[in-house]
Structure 1
Amino acid sequence: MNDEPLLHLAIAALYNYGLKNAQLTRLGGASNTNFKVDADGQSFVLRLHTSALHDRDAISSELAWLSSLHSNTTLILPKPIVNLNGVLVTSVFADNELELLCTLLSWVTGKIPPTVNTLTDEQLAKVGSVMAQLHNHSQQFKLPDRFKRQTYDAAHFSQRLEPLYMTLSDTANQNELDSLKVNGNHIITRFTQLERKQDSFGVIHADFHSGNY
């Protein structure tokens, strides 16, 4: 889908938030199509969930955690915005009647920091503090009903390792490949033996890199 249909869908989505005559600026994004929205003296981020990686429950679950982090930590975070019907996930429909899910967040001014290998000790400490607050919050976060996010379990790791083994089968010798598989299976086995308690198994930020913090 090219930019023009997406722009029309973005404008349609904004009507659900009472935002008219807004200025939209296309932003980067891997999983979603994102726009900066300037309207009524305020700025927002409109996300069109174009990748189909997540359904309504998964997106709502993400925003439930974000809302809780916004309310219960000192982290500077975008705030999810409800639409005129009081819900966080908005539907718009393309010409082919395909439903597209959209969400609106408050705008947070910032800049992407350097990569980890060029961060100063002070910057690294701040990054560590952010991650610590995420982990501390996760220990007391109560999952709402119908909470749905990707689970990093034995099946997930096994599935992710298979393409790696296939790729290395052409370049690594058999002893090296066998050793890698043995160690991979050992790690997965130990992982499955970990007790799933509130302080050791819960919600995490699975993409914590400098472009996201």
Structure 2
Amino acid sequence: MEEIYIESSIKDKFKKEIFLEAASRFGINFADTIKLDGFQNFVFLGKRESKNVILRIAHSSHRSKDMTLAEIEFISYLADSGMTVSKALLSNRGEYVEVIELVDNCFIATVFEFAPGRRAEICVESDIFYERIGRFTGKMHKLSKEFSPIQKRYDWTDNAAVTKFQNYVPNEMLQHKLELIISQIQSLSRDRDSFGLIHGDISPGNYLNHEDHPSIIDFDQCEYSWFASEIATSIFHETPIPFIITDVNKRKTITKRFFSNFFQGYSKENTLSRSAIDAIPLFINLRQAIVIGLIHRSADMDNFDNWSDWNKEALTFYINNLENDIPYIDLDFTSL
């Protein structure tokens, strides 16, 4: 997957003292912690009362206390409705969210239950695993229709990757293409059966495989958007770029296998209209634009020639697709 990192300006503000304070407030033995990969947050595996937990620390410019509480409220609702999710844990002071105040900014700390399983590999997991991911997603979307939160998450148009795209990406053609994508999306129906609160990033980076049972983690990107957008994100990340799989038909076969199994599970829990499914390629284009923006935000663009071949090929592929109106994967999902 793309190498997307936390912004360097945020990295510079994160000091060891912040981590120690956050760990202390949640009763985590900081000597046993392991730093994990995180492209938006600082994430650590630690122990509390001999149990593994996940400590997540976000800068307030990325996520506010209220938005974090809204995320936790959604997770709790799903858990109370019988879904297997990693719930948030209370701090020593009985708070789900601890704010680490600094002189001119602050960090938001939360702790979640540890989910079992290994990191899933792109496009090689079993049919039943993909079906179970689809079933989880379908059930979540069905429950989302009935969710009436106290704290409300943001709408998809307020996603920083969308609102700051022009700041990240100087290419005017790409800016124009994103404007067109947004305009097309905004013309879609926002009815109860197609639009609601979604996870926002159901992809191999956020699902674990425990004996062919998925654990969906990290709801940090949850937002109000179309259910089809959620499915498009999964398809995008489960379909290797041509640099990895050069054969066009093999790429299509990989995507068909993932989608057919995913949607078989999804349909056991929720129903999407044909028009919603027909919008999947549009949302894949939105995802390409978002990833382009995040790469520009995170990477040293002046050092492009020294990037890994994979990263250079991926960014070039996404940009070429959007600039020339080339489908990411040329399939009619309504007929699969």
TM-score with structure 1 setting the length:
0.75
Retained in 1: the 8 A contact 2:23–2:30? no
**1:21-32 equivalence runs, <5 A:** 22-32=31-41
Q: Check if 1:190 corresponds to 2:163.
A: no
Cα 1:74/1:186, change in 2 over 3 Å: closer
Counterpart of 2:206 in 1: which secondary structure? coil
AA at the equivalent of 1:148: R
Deviation at 1:130? 1.6
Q: Distance in 2 between matches of 1:72 and 1:2?
A: 37
Q: Check if 1:84 corresponds to 2:117.
A: no
* Alignment partner, residue 136 of structure 1: 142
Counterpart of 2:59 in 1: which secondary structure? coil
Q: 2:117 aligns with which of 86, 106, 110?
A: 110
Retained in 1: the 8 A contact 2:43–2:57? yes
How many percent of aligned residue pairs carry the same amino acid? 19
Counterpart of 2:184 in 1: which secondary structure? helix
Deviation at 1:209? 0.6
Retained in 2: the 8 A contact 1:73–1:137? no
**1:1-213 equivalence runs, <5 A:** 6-20=15-29, 22-50=31-59, 52-75=61-84, 77-94=85-102, 96=103, 98-115=105-122, 117-144=123-150, 146-149=151-154, 151-153=155-157, 166-167=172-173, 184=181, 187-191=184-188, 194-197=189-192, 199-213=193-207
Q: Distance in 2 between matches of 1:184 and 1:45?
A: 36
RMSD of aligned residue pairs (Cα, Å): 3.5
Q: Distance in 2 between matches of 1:44 and 1:6?
A: 21
Retained in 2: the 8 A contact 1:34–1:45? yes
Counterpart of 1:141 in 2: which secondary structure? coil
Q: Distance in 1 between matches of 2:63 and 2:172?
A: 28
- Structure 2: 5+ residue stretches without partners: 1-9, 208-336
Counterpart of 2:80 in 1: which secondary structure? helix
Retained in 2: the 8 A contact 1:31–1:51? no
Q: Distance in 2 between matches of 1:74 and 1:42?
A: 21
Task: Indicate the structure with greater helix content.
Answer: 2
Cα 1:122/1:59, change in 2 over 3 Å: same
Q: Distance in 2 between matches of 1:2 and 1:159?
A: 21
Q: Distance in 2 between matches of 1:64 and 1:30?
A: 23
Retained in 1: the 8 A contact 2:28–2:47? no
The structure with the largest alpha-carbon Rg is 1
- Report Cα offsets for 1:118-139 as digits up to 9, x if no partner: 3332222122112112112211
- Structure 1: 5+ residue stretches without partners: 170-176
